[in-house]
Amino acid sequence: MKKIGSGRLQLVILIILFLLTSGRVSAQEQREYEPEIYKSSEYTKTEAARLLTEYLKIQSLSGIEEEAGDFLSAYCEQQGLYVTTLPADSTGYNFAATIYPLSEDKPVIWLQHHMDVVPAGTTDEWDYPPFSGVVVNDTIWGRGAIDNKGPGIMQLMSLLNIKGAADTIEFIYNVGVLCFSSEESGGGAGAKYVLDRKLSELNPLVAFGEGGAALRGVLLSAPEKPVVGISVAEKAVLWLKLDLQLNSYGHGAAPAPEYANKLMIYALSRLEGRKFNMEFNRVNRRMFRRLGRAEGGLRGFLIGHINWWILSPFVKNVVQRDPLLESLTTNTITVTKLENPPGPHNKISIISTAYLDCRLQPNTTVKAFIRRLERILDEPKIKITVINSSPESKPSPVNDFYDAMAWAVQQEIPDAAVIPILFPATTDNIFFRNNEVPTYGLIPAMMSEDLIKSVHSINERLPVAALEQGINIYTNMILRIQTEGAHKRRRLLNAELRKVNLLEE
């Protein structure tokens, strides 16, 4: 007989309580019932920190994720998970690990993260080497600690918690982690590549990935109250290349009235001086309503009714002064790079190129956006090329899956205000939503402003306490989904039995 460790035994007892309770109580009573909560053991915390430290030492920049993938998949196999190598192009590496084989055809609760990271930049500016994974004052330092290796370890450790219980209890849903490459370069060799080819085999019930976080200082009326944003939709990414070619005098000492760089600068200045209209949709209206409710008072009323036309002059003034509010209510454009072909400093280039990073609100089409952009630039010599665009996707519903995550968050952060949000950036979540898979995004831990600022910057790091919070939240969320699924299945079975009894009569 297999011996059960104390941590696993605790989890098994919790699950049995979940299942027994869901069978005894009414739907109303079940919503009010608060089951006991899973908390990480010292071993789990220590192992999670050790694993993240080793993971951060691997320089898995986009396109070179194989070493990181081999490291994680080997660990998953050692822990008795079922590892499936997923398709990838020549530059990618993708795999899945599940508690049951995918061949059992159970619907799967997927936790997904990306293994690739952005470059560390100038390493001299870091307090500790960016690929050291060093632990200082209970904080783990390294590129990818937050984006996205830390959350990946939270997911994996919670999966192992569920795996331990699955050795004793048969769950109705499979649970797995998806580890993708190339998210930082658009997902073409990672999530998109896999879902285009293996969606039916993956059999997703729901997916959870990166997104919002738990932050203090959001509410002026209660700055210490954490606000947790679970993303249910994202702005779409659109990367554009602008080319302008104009043959003109070549010497810088005798410039022509018009030349390529001059026309490009004029066009971009028209773009910079023109603000896009605020756009309100179902997602950001609901987000502002709930945020306003949490804020309270007059300010809360104004936030909650930000889309009222009568408030538009005041709201527009406030939004234009706040980059975050602007990103949540408008389509945004950032000029990320300007370049010319190589040449001496005194030679006027006949080609000018600009690159734009555009983020589009839900319901904004690429064609309509580019037409608007052409009108604003007002320069017929500019040729616009789409470098990359994410698919248009519907928002995920605020349903039982969202409620399970919100509930798990509130067990770990009891005073938190949990809000469904529009995420201003773009992640692999969008590829799941494009395939009509309910998908929710969250870094399930308390974050500070300094920690958030370290993402894609210097000194990226994650406290061990945040790692523990994430493991607890993911574990409790999965237990909740499994329990509710068992309860629904039992009700369906009872309904079928009643039909049989009626027929027999």
Which tens digit of pLDDT belongs to each residue from 220-276?
999 999 999 999 999 999 999 999 999 877 777 777 789 999 999 999 999 887 767
Report for 267-271, 317-321, 495-499: range of highest mean pLDDT: 267-271
Q: End-to-end CA distance of the chain, in Å?
A: 46
pLDDT surpassing 60 at residue 194? yes
Return the percent helix, strand and coil in the chain, to nearest 5. Answer: 45, 20, 35
CA 315, 320, 324, 326 torsion: positive or negative?
positive
pLDDT band for position 189 (50/70/90)? very high
Nearest to 75 by CA among 59, 53, 102: 53
Separation of alpha carbons 428 and 410, rounded Å: 25
Three-state SS string over 127-178 comes to CCCCCCCCEECCEEECCCCCCCHHHHHHHHHHHHHHHHHHCCCCCCCEEEEE
Residue 27 in 3-state DSSP?
helix
Separation of alpha carbons 87 and 401, rounded Å: 28
How large a percentage of the chain has pLDDT more than 90?
A: 70
pLDDT surpassing 60 at residue 5? no
Nearest to 392 by CA among 436, 428, 434: 434
Nearest to 327 by CA among 209, 208, 234, 456: 234
Domains identified in the chain and CATH numbers:
6-227+424-492 (3.40.630.10), 234-389 (3.30.70.360)
Separation of alpha carbons 90 and 162, rounded Å: 33
Instruction: Give the pLDDT of residue 44.
Output: 95
pTM (2 decimals)? 0.88
pLDDT band for position 497 (50/70/90)? low
Q: Given strand 135-136, what is the order of strands in its sheet? A: 135-136, 139-141, 461-463
Separation of alpha carbons 24 and 386, rounded Å: 57
Other C-beta atoms lying within 10 Å of the C-beta of residue 470: 26
Instruction: Give the pLDDT of residue 184.
Output: 95
Question: What is the mean pLDDT of the segment spanning 130-139?
Answer: 97
